Chain A
Amino acid sequence: MNYKTGQLVQLSLKDGREYEGRVISIKEERIIIKLKNGYNVGIFKKNVRDAKPIKEKPVVKNENKKPLLNKKLPKLTILHMGGTIASKVDYELGGVSPLFEPEEIISLFPELSTLVYIESKLVSRMLSENLRFSDLNKLVSAIKDALNAEKKPKGIIITHGTDMLHYTAAALSFLIENPPLPIILVGSQRSSDRPSSDSKSNLMAAVHFILKSESKGVFICIHESSSDNSCLILRGTNARKMHSSRRDAFKPINTEALARISLKDYSIEWLSKEENQNKAPKFYTMNPNLKIGMFYVHPSMCKEELGGILKMDGAIIIGTGLGHIGLNDENEFILKLIKEAISKGVIIAITPQTLFGRISLNVYSTGRKLKELGVLGHESNMLPETAFMKLAFLMSNFKKEEIYELYNKNLRGELSMKSPYEDDYIDAD
């Protein structure tokens, strides 16, 4: 018998087992069927003695009534960039399907129906780790469209897988100068099919922040702790995914979070100064063909590894401590490579592996050598990921002399010249 997915079958196995269930998936050697009791079992095709399809009445699917959208409410634009804030589980077939339509989102989160009027667009369905410059350009153009719509949104929410969410946040911070509204990236660390998902609370916190504040900028909204008590609004240029799985994976680095949103009453507690401007927004794009590498310095680094730098347009070197690369025999060669790359026009900047703290190329001779060669980043406290996006943004939109001038200048709050004291710099609330 030819199995078909979704088909109800009766199987008699060679060892006497009898199964009745629905075919969930068909692999090369086995099929997986879902039994009446809800369990899936795998069966090797070679073990099946007899298989019969079971006839069933076609199921009339009752279309759920679509909830009405109240256009009088403030408008919220949701741009889907992969990662799902809402999804539906098919308990019959076991599949999980993401929901993108405003009505679907409202029907899953009914509280939203009294707060906002939602418009949404599916920009991309990529996995966050597959992010490319061209995707960022699509996103910028979707944001531009949303801002040009007849009814202006009160804010924009971007759903995004968390793995590279901070890259997108940094990129958007540079690509949109003077954003006229809050643009909030919302991710979730537990997929939205689970009852324990953090997607809804992160989304709700972001919505309330949009409705209750006048903040403008690119932000990330994510859990503050493992508990469902509060979310943080983090600035797009200074946040990083610091945990592979926890809900509170994103932390502000070298800065403070902007605000805390209580998940009990969605009140806002400001944690640092809000910056507001009323200048006209300006949009940029990335050059999708740009090649920028990131090189992580480590013991026994070899020339073959760094050799690729010669083929790059730009590079971020993630240096040790204050911003160094070792200088023993092999590395002397590496230094030569950097020199050669710079002379070929590759723009190279250095950022700290320590994430916290500032580069200083003046303290040791290695640093001084790098500085002399024209490596950028002296006295910068930018995160490597932010530096990467900044370099890409600059190289896509400015001339070489401008890039050398702008890289070390604070453009969007991505770097600061003052290092304020914190008792505990990792947990600087």
Chain B
Amino acid sequence: MITLMQINDFSKIGFKAGLEIHQQLDTQKLFCSCKGDNEDKYDFEIERRLNISKSEMGEIDPAALHELEKSKSFVYRGSNNSSCLVELDEEPPHEISKEPLEISIQVSHLFNAKIVDSIEFMRKIVIDGSNTAGFQRTALIATDGFVKLKSKKVPIETICLEEDSAKLIKRSSSKDIYHLSRLGIPLVEITTAPVLASPEELKECAKEIGLILRSVKVKRGLGTIRQDVNLSIKGGARIEIKGAQNLKELDKLAYNEAIRQLSLLKVIDELKEREKSGKIDSNFSNPVDVSQIFKETKSNILKKELEQGKSFAVPLKGFSGILGTEILQGRRIGTEISDYAKTYSSLNGLFHRDELPNYGITKAELSSLEKMLNIKKEDSFILVAGKEEECRIFIKKALERLEMLMKKIPSEVRAAKQDGTTTFLRPMPGPARMYPETDVPSIFLEELSVKKAPSIKDVIEKITALGLPREEATIVAKSGKSDFFFKLMNNSKQKASYIYTLLFSKPKEFKKKENLFDSKNISEENIMKLISLLDSGTITKKQLEDAYFDIGKGKNVNLEELSMNKISEEEIRRKIKEIIKQNKDKSFGFLMGKAMAALKGADGKEINQILREELNKK
């Protein structure tokens, strides 16, 4: 049996990876004036179909193509805030938005890349419905750049500027629903050479690119940066992993993929060995209807499927132990096969001999099945249940995958899952099909004068020089608030550490204390004013923070009044207590007069109230 392996030295297994990073820019859309807001609500809905000609489909079964063409439709939802006729493919692209174009050039500078003489937008055919036009607008901006890591210089092969696709809301066999809010948001795509030699290096590179991208106006938050990983190991296959949103998991993802490939290589060896010695027969027999055996089954899964459908099994001669082989924590060859077949059929999965009896399937049912299929000790089988047609498609595809695994690891596109593993998404696409976007004129670099954006690394240095530790300086720089930070530093007597506390630590602390608190409620003007009041000694830090907290909670605080109210509540109370103590049994009016005299500058109403409170305490 193959035991789950571990990798200690990635150079030994020929680990090679590259990154393709897509970063959304925080501007209006690339070819219209719509906002790039992430939205779910919608004002309208339209339904479209795409004409998919054979050349766009590559090597896909014409029958399947025909079916797809006939039945699949795409529903697009849009809001008037984030979409217009351009997203709907009902109006030509507007003049390219200047800001994202300039940012893409700044990004090229930041990655030391060489910008092309004239930028030519292309139409890249995309037929999954995620672009209303059936193509994505994309242009190559620069080539031959690099990013420096601790131990190496990683070449940046290309930097592109493109439109993001529409967001998939729901997929079904006849209809996919998309939302248009994301379509057309400018994306900068950065592609490294496949030179990253370990998962750690891969992560380091992604982190470094992500950090440098923070030098310009990029969107923040989940889904605004997406990392695709290209990965291969010696003897394995080139795999593209799509949709990794969590940078922290990137090394785990790559590690798992390397393990998956190593394990698969062992299984492939084992299968080849068995085939050589004639133990296995790769001419699979036809699926057999075994519904009869499970007529009285106690397995809930089977029972449910058999209400409407049938159960089919196919014997796998000489495959004993293969499908049960664990290739990754919790993933077996059975999972590999099932994942693949599931993308073509509506069935939820399969059973195989190595895992039975289990899932309510009894020993007796198992032996009837083995008898019916003529299964010997060295054999295995696949068992599925559902609608007959779906069962047949599933088994056909499952066997197709098994056949692939008898030869080599298939090169394919896999989707990143939350748990750091991947699942089959689609076969590796052929070369991108692109042709010129004739609605967008050539853009000449000479005619653009784009200022270099200061690198976030320089910004971090500058903040560190002001006396903030590097870690905190990095937080300031990455937040996009560094300009404001510098402005405060220039205009105030306060130390960098206090400004940092005010802008970064306090909001977190206040949020914990009061969920209503939202730092968005506090404008930069508010903060400037508060700090100037603090600088002039008009208010104390405590007063400043109280006001900060109140404004954050959405309270209307008059900062002008605050400045006049020199005496804090605490102080008033202390003074009043003192007056009460000194003037026992005096009337309220007398005490009030005393307090007013003693607390010049304080608000009479406030004194009045505190005095009453203190008197009531007695």
Contact = CB atoms under 8 A, between A and B. Distances in A.
A60 B393 CA distance: 37
B85 A245 contact: yes
B610 interface: no
Contact of A194 (B47, B134, B140): B134
B125 interface: yes
Contacts of A327: none
Contact of A30 (B117, B125, B143): B117
Interface string B155-193: 000101000000000000000000000000000000000
A193 B434 CA distance: 12
A247 B144 CA distance: 42
Contacts of A228: 47-49, 73
B125 A195 contact: yes
Contacts of A308: none
Nearest to B144: A17
Nearest to B74: A228
A91 interface: yes
B88 A226 contact: yes
Interface in A43-82: 43-44, 47
A173 interface: no
A349 B388 CA distance: 71
Interface in A172-212: 189-190, 193-197, 200-201
B90 A247 contact: yes
Q: Most B CB atoms within 10 A — which of A19, A47, A200, A226? A: A226
Interface in B40-95: 46-53, 55-56, 66, 73, 85, 88-92
A196 B435 contact: no
A297 interface: no
B124 interface: yes
Contacts of A225: 46
Contacts of A193: 435
Interface stretch (A33-41, A157-165, A274-282, A332-340): A33-41
A207 B51 CA distance: 17
Contacts of B118: 30, 32, 41-44
Contacts of A200: 51
A422 B218 CA distance: 52
B436 A190 contact: no
A42 B139 CA distance: 11
A227 B47 contact: yes
A196 B89 contact: yes
B435 A94 contact: yes
B435 A91 contact: yes
Contacts of B122: 38-40
A38 B132 contact: no
B274 interface: no
A14 to B, nearest CB: 11
A201 B49 contact: yes
B158 A37 contact: yes
Interface string B433-469: 1111000001010000000000000000000000000
A9 to B, nearest CB: 15
A197 B51 CA distance: 7
B431 interface: yes
A32 B47 contact: no
Contacts of B46: 225-227
Q: Most A CB atoms within 10 A — which of B120, B123, B132, B133? A: B120
Interface in B412-435: 431-435
Contact of A39 (B73, B92, B160): B160
A96 B144 CA distance: 31
A195 B133 contact: yes
B592 interface: no
Q: Most B CB atoms within 10 A — which of A39, A42, A225? A: A39
B116 interface: yes
A193 B135 CA distance: 10
A401 interface: no
A129 B143 CA distance: 42
B88 A38 contact: no
Interface string A5-47: 0000000000111110000100000101001011111111001
B114 interface: yes
A425 B55 CA distance: 45
B373 interface: no
B117 A226 contact: no
Contact of A41 (B52, B55, B120, B444): B120
B116 A43 contact: yes
A38 B432 contact: yes
A134 interface: no
B435 A195 contact: no
B154 interface: no
Nearest to A95: B435
B375 interface: no
A263 B46 CA distance: 14
A88 B88 CA distance: 23
Given A35-B140, A193-B435, A245-B90, A42 B120 contact: yes
A195 B50 contact: yes
A108 interface: yes
Contacts of B89: 190, 194, 196
B127 interface: yes
A42 to B, nearest CB: 3
A266 B133 CA distance: 23
Given A194-B134, A195-B127, A196-B48, A39 B434 contact: yes
A300 B120 CA distance: 45
B434 A38 contact: yes
B114 A15 contact: yes
A345 interface: no
A370 B115 CA distance: 65
A42 B436 CA distance: 12
A16 B112 CA distance: 13
Interface string B88-114: 111110000000000000000000001
A195 B143 contact: no
B119 interface: yes
A291 interface: no
A416 B73 CA distance: 41
Interface string B398-416: 0000000000000000000
A144 interface: no
A229 interface: yes
B456 to A, nearest CB: 26
Contacts of A16: 114, 144
A125 interface: no
A89 interface: yes
Contact of A110 (B66, B135, B436): B66
Contacts of B50: 195-196
Q: Most B CB atoms within 10 A — which of A88, A189, A195, A197? A: A195
Contacts of A18: 144
A90 B433 CA distance: 9
Q: Most B CB atoms within 10 A — which of A35, A41, A43, A91? A: A41
A336 B554 CA distance: 72
A225 B90 CA distance: 11
Interface of B: 46-53, 55-56, 66, 73, 85, 88-92, 114, 116-120, 122-125, 127, 132-135, 138-140, 143-144, 158, 160, 431-436, 442, 444
Interface of A: 15-19, 24, 30, 32, 35, 37-44, 47, 88-91, 94-96, 108, 110, 189-190, 193-197, 200-201, 225-229, 245-247, 263
Given A39-B139, A44-B117, A228-B47, 19 more contacts: A32-B120, A38-B124, A39-B434, A40-B434, A41-B140, A42-B442, A91-B55, A95-B435, A96-B435, A194-B123, A194-B135, A195-B51, A195-B52, A195-B56, A195-B135, A196-B132, A225-B46, A245-B91, A246-B85
Query: Which 10 pairs across A and B sit closest by C-beta, in order of nearness?
Result: A195-B134, A42-B118, A39-B140, A40-B120, A38-B434, A41-B116, A38-B432, A195-B50, A196-B134, A227-B46
18 contacts: A32-B120, A39-B160, A39-B434, A41-B118, A42-B117, A91-B433, A193-B435, A194-B89, A194-B134, A195-B52, A195-B53, A196-B50, A196-B89, A197-B51, A227-B48, A228-B73, A229-B47, A246-B85
